[in-house]
Amino acid sequence: MSVYQFNSAIVRAPAPSVVKGLRAEDHGDPSFPGIQAEHAAYVRALEAHGVAVEVLEPLEQYPDSIFVEDPALVFHEGAVLLNPGAPSRNGEAREIAPVLERNFPVVLAVTEGFVDGGDVLVTPAHVMIGLSARTTRQGAEALVTRLAELGRSGVIVATPADVLHFKSDCSLLDDATMLSTARLAASGVFSGFDVIPVPDGEEGAANALRVNDVVFVGSRFPKTIDTLSRRGYSVVPLETAEIAKIDAGLSCMSLRWRR
């Protein structure tokens, strides 16, 4: 079973406070109806491709809580509660803990250091953990230990400077192929993979999402869509212009696993 075969997902509906979500550079607040529309289309796309989606209640006190990928990591065999590195997001782990308890036979936790799920890339051989402004070495080492308890191998890698999350710059397209920005691929971290570089100027497209037989890609990135289509991938373009204003892409809005 490939690591991108999913039949279950958890998402969280956006609260009005999402327009105040964290961002590295301010290009103006996103629109709430715009984010709702992008989120709804994302949920529909998951469902259309064979994924049963549980939609959690919005959390007004946590503007970024729509990005459920960051406080947890999930697998068929169990879940890991993470420890988000942004102070305004740290409480999201406590909010999602009961949801994990309800869905997974085993729930482990990272309690030392900090880890955001956006820095965690699951590949067939290893779980890659990118050190970043959100993920500390202590947190990454704790996650490697938790992963070993689940029978998985974790490797700690670097995230390019000034990039929010490791997965802001890459996504797994199939068992052997990685979509990556040139800046991340240049680090050599994907040796052993066939790397498809995202075209210049479309760096934001690197956070795509393989789901079963399709790849979700931001519809703002025509060159990437063309490249992947020519390589034989079945691309589902999704609007991301509003969530991009708060530094988000397509992996961050769900936790996905094979139940």
Residues noted as catalytic? 165, 252
Task: List the one residue from 9, 127, 247, 254 that touches ligand CIR (CB under 6 A).
Answer: 247
Site for ligand CIR in 122-181 (CB under 6 A): 164-165, 168
Token digits for 236?
A: 């589902």
The span from the CA of 233 to the CA of 5, in Å, is: 15
CB of 198 to ligand CIR, least distance (A): 15
x/- track of binding to ligand CIR for residues 96-125 (CB under 6 A) = ---------------------xx-------
- Spatial CB neighbours of 171, under 8 Å, sequence gap ≥ 6: 121, 178, 179, 206, 207, 208, 209, 210, 215, 251
Distance CA(18)–CA(163), nearest Å, equals: 21
Token output for 245: 């204003």
CA distances for 128 relative to 62, 117, 118, 225, 242, angstroms: 27, 11, 11, 25, 28
CB of 231 to ligand CIR, least distance (A): 24
Instruction: Pick out residues in 212-231 that bind ligand CIR (CB under 6 A).
Output: none
Residue 169's identity, in one-letter code, is D
CB of 67 to ligand CIR, least distance (A): 4
Q: Which stretch binds ligand CIR (CB under 6 A): 16-24, 101-109, 192-200, 212-220?
A: 16-24
- Can residue 252 be called a binding residue for ligand CIR (CB under 6 A)? yes
> Site for ligand CIR (CB under 6 A): how many residues?
20
Token output for 184: 């991340």
Residues that bind ligand CIR in the complex, under the rule CB under 6 A: 21-23, 64, 67, 69-70, 86, 89, 117-118, 164-165, 168, 246-249, 251-252
